[in-house]
């Protein structure tokens, strides 16, 4: 897929728009799910590579591939996996596979974030890199790829760039119910989502934060900046991010989007691009308890 970029992409994420081209990631409806291996993280078999499709190919199945760890992706994943866990007595089997360039680091993250992971499913890490098993044709630009299968074939495919509980969970829930033989559309409440009361928003605060963000980031990506200028500006960014989570999240979103777009060279100097790659990795979201507004799913 393509992104429409403006010169201020790193300063204002809202200026990015996605074209209406079809998005494809993973086997399409009617295609077979083929066996592949991934590594278990927890339990007696931790560290062992196993057949992901063992014991599930002949019945209904939910496969969630996590390309990027963000609060929305983990919140949606947790909700779906917890919902799937309530359907195991009806034959539904689920698998959760994380795609990564650094399996060791991802396994360490699992141990730190275990409390935020869904119950009833053993998370796995693909050893095939960020694109996952080659036979699946997964798009690394996705945040999540969700497959619902039955009798060894895909019956629903959801490639998600910006996952949302409200927008995506009901669609996946309906696909699960159809795979179980029911023409039902579960509500978010039935899927276990506890909606939060609408909190008042402060437009002034948002505007002030955007101004701070621009002020902090502009010196980093200035084309005329020297290496010393970039280092000094980046140090200020990192110090401010360490004390302000909203700012850290904002920097991560922009850096991750730019690095993933393949257009990193368009932004700043070579030293600035090193920092953008660093922040796209090190500023990644850590899953948080349900008290965080962006998590939303019921606690496992």
Number of independent structural domains in the chain: 2
Mean pLDDT, rounded, of the chain: 83
Whether the per-residue pLDDT at 181 is higher than 50: the answer is yes
Residues 169 and 235 in one domain: no
Same domain, 161 and 219: no
Task: Check whether 126 has a pLDDT greater than 80.
Answer: yes
Residue 144 has pLDDT above 70, yes or no: yes
Question: For the residues of 154-221, what is the DSSP string, one character each?
Answer: EEEEEEESS--HHHHHHHHHHHHHHHTT------TTTTTB-PPPPPP--HHHHHHHHHHHHHHHHHHH
In a domain, 7, yes or no: yes
Mean pLDDT of 195-213: 63
Same domain, 19 and 107: yes
* Residue 40 covered by a domain: yes
pLDDT of residue 51: 94
Query: Is residue 182's pLDDT more than 80?
Result: yes
Which pLDDT score, from 0 to 100, does residue 203 have? Answer: 56
Same domain, 216 and 162: no
pLDDT-derived band at 58 (thresholds 50, 70, 90) equals: confident
The verdict on 35 and 164 lying in the same domain is yes
Residue 190 located in a structural domain = no
14 lies in some domain: yes
Do residues 92 and 241 both lie within one domain?
no
118 lies in the same domain as 231: no
172 shares its domain with 240: no
173 and 222 share one domain: no
**291 belongs to a structural domain:** no
pLDDT band for 213, please (50, 70, 90 cuts).
confident
Domain of residue 218 covers 210-282
Q: What percent of the chain has pLDDT over 90?
A: 49
Residue 119 sits in a domain whose CATH number is 3.40.30.10
Cβ-contact 123, 42 below 8 angstroms: yes
Single pTM value for the model: 0.63
Q: Are 259 and 276 in contact (CB under 8 A)?
A: yes
Q: Identify whether residues 163 and 245 lie together within a single domain.
A: no
For residue range 102-125, list pLDDT tens digits in order: 888 888 888 787 777 777 788 999
pLDDT tens digits, 62-105 = 999 999 988 889 999 999 999 999 999 999 999 999 999 888 88
Q: Write the DSSP symbol of residue 257.
A: H
10-24, 58-72, 76-90, 253-267, range with the lowest pLDDT: 10-24
Mean predicted confidence (pLDDT) in 172-200: 84
């Amino acid at each position: 897929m393509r992104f429409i970029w403006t010169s201020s992409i790193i300063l204002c994420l809202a200026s990015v728009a996605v074209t209406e081209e079809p998005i494809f990631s993973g086997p399409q409806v009617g295609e077979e799910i083929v066996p592949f291996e991934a590594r278990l993280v927890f339990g007696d078999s931790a560290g062992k590579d196993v057949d992901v499709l063992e014991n599930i190919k002949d019945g209904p199945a939910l496969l969630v591939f996590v390309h990027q760890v963000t609060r929305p992706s983990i919140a949606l994943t947790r909700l779906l996996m917890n919902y799937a866990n309530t359907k195991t007595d009806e034959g539904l089997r689920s698998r959760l596979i994380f795609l990564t360039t650094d399996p060791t680091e991802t396994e360490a993250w699992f141990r730190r974030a275990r409390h935020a992971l869904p119950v009833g499913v053993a998370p796995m890490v693909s050893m095939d890199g960020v694109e996952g098993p080659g036979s699946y044709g997964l798009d690394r630009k996705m945040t999540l790829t969700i497959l619902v299968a039955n009798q060894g074939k895909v019956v629903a495919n959801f490639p998600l760039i910006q996952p949302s509980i409200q927008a995506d969970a009901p669609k996946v829930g309906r696909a699960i119910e159809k795979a179980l033989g029911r023409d039902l559309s579960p509500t978010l409440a039935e899927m276990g989502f506890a909606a939060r009361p609408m909190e008042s928003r402060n437009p002034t605060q948002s505007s002030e934060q955007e101004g701070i963000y621009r002020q902090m980031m502009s010196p980093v990506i200035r084309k005329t900046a020297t290496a010393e200028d970039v280092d000094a500006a980046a140090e200020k960014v990192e110090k401010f991010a360490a004390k302000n989570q909203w700012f850290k999240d904002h920097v991560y979103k922009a850096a991750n989007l730019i690095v993933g777009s393949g257009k990193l060279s368009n932004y700043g100097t070579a030293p600035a691009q090193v920092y953008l790659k660093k922040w796209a990795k090190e500023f990644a979201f850590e899953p948080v308890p349900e008290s965080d507004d962006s998590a939303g799913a019921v606690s496992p």
